[in-house]
Amino acid sequence: SFYSLKLENKTKGKLQRQICQVVLDHFGKQYTKELGDTWTGVRDVLTHPLCWQHAVLLNKFSWSSELENTLCLRGYRPLFQETLPYLPRSLKCYISRTPRRFPAQKHQIGKLKEYYLLNAASLLPVLALEVKDGEDVLDVCAAPGGKSVAILQCAYPGQFHCNEYDGLRSRWLKQTLESFIPDPLINSITVSKLDGRQIGDLNPELYDKILVDAPCSNDRSWLFSSDTQQATLRLIQRKELPSLQLQLLRSAVKALRPGGSLVYSTCTLSKAENSDVINLILNSCSNILPVDISDMGKAVSQEFTLLSGTQEHELLVLPEKEKAWGPMYVAKLKKI
């Protein structure tokens, strides 16, 4: 069958990728300070793409028993086996202990894809958001669309607004949604290209749940910058990211209804882009409170390595051998 295609060729290209020394040195300085001894193990995983893993998120709108059987035969197992505070039965994700690459499905017009390959840790912001049927949901920085697709595996929002400011990424988002979501439902999704910093003023107090999966210094991909000049420029511009992240969060707070909740996530280990940004929001907005997500943290601690000593409203997934998920920072807030 289609699923038993040669899976090994995919990883060959990854081997050729060169590590960008400028970025590694920069990260090394910062993360040794912030993570201590933990950084060594994390660095080993981040710099060896052959030990990276992919999870297989099933599409409930195009469900195939053949696919589930194939996954099980290949040694994949369901990702969440513990009882989580929020885990809709319709959300199904499979992982394999060893880094194997399941083939990606090609985009075919008029045919829904059966699964989405992703870093398993990127489901945590979606689980923390706890979307329920009928709620109005906003995904502020939605491309490439994996988290939007995952939200729709969990529940049927009343209004679902997926936004992506970048033109190219916005097209990618649209294609992802078209590949995974059937027609009647896709018509109820609004896809926009607004500047996320302005959504709060445009749509004040409109949403019950908001995901801010913010632009960040993407530790995994930055380490393999092929162009040293571009990498150096990125590292200079990196200092400006927390200010953008803060503006996106402030905008999301405005767009949130009182009683609504918000999840902030990044794929970086950087404290300046994670807890520092959240602390700034908590200290400057009297109507925002932290939400304890430590129960979710405990429930997923079998599958993910979490940094110890974080606050109750946040968690940070650290990539580790055999659990090469993350980096992924998640924090939850609510508006009163």
Instruction: Give the residue carrying structure tokens 């902030």.
Output: 264
For residue 1, how many C-alpha atoms fall within 13 Å in the half-sphere facing its CB? 7
pLDDT class of 97 with cuts at 50, 70, 90: confident
Alpha-carbon distance 202 to 183, whole Å?
Answer: 28
71 neighbors 24 (Cβ within 8 angstroms): no
Would you say 252 is a known binding-site residue? no
- Segment 125-152, tens digit of pLDDT: 999 999 999 999 999 999 999 999 999 9
The type of residue at 187 is N
Find out whether 261 and 129 touch, Cβ atoms under 8 Å: yes
Helix or strand holding residue 335 (H, E): strand 328-335
- pLDDT(318) > 60: yes
Residue 143 among known ligand-binding residues: yes
C-alpha dist (Å) from residue 209 to 12, 81, 288: 41, 26, 14
Looking at the predicted structure, is the pLDDT value of residue 6 above 80? Answer: no
Distance CA 66, CA 155 (A): 24
- What is the tens place of the pLDDT at every residue in 152-204? 999 999 999 999 999 999 999 999 999 999 998 998 899 999 999 999 999 99
252 vs 334: CA distance, rounded Å: 11
pLDDT score of 3 more than 70: no
Query: What are the tens digits of pLDDT across the range 215-268?
Result: 999 999 999 998 999 999 999 999 999 999 999 999 999 999 999 999 999 999
**First CA to last CA across the chain, in angstroms?**
53
Q: Collapse the DSSP code of 259 into the 3-class scheme (helix H, G, I; strand E, B; otherwise coil) and give the result.
A: strand
113 assigned to a ligand binding site: no
- Known binder of ligand: residue 292? no
> Are the C-beta atoms of 223 and 235 separated by less than 8 Å?
no
Q: What is the mean pLDDT of the chain?
A: 93
Smallest CA-to-CA distance from 302 within 34, 116, 77, 23 is with 77
167 known member of a binding site: no
pLDDT value at residue 171:
96
Rounded Cα distance between 259 and 136, Å, is: 13
Active-site residue list: 267
Residue 68 counted as an annotated binding residue: no
Q: Alpha-carbon distance 143 to 151, whole Å?
A: 13
* Percent of residues, the chain, with pLDDT higher than 90: 88
Q: Which two tokens stand for residue 133?
A: 């049927």
Domains along the chain with CATH numbers: 17-335 (3.40.50.150)
How much is the pLDDT for 16? 57
Q: How far is CA 27 from CA 52, 144, 265, 306, 332, in A?
A: 19, 25, 19, 19, 26
Residue 7 has pLDDT above 60, yes or no: no
pTM: 0.94
- β-strand pairing of 160-163 with 189-192: parallel
Q: Is 28 annotated as a binding residue?
A: no
The one-letter amino acid at 1 = S
| Rounded Cα gap, residues 163 and 157, in angstroms | 15
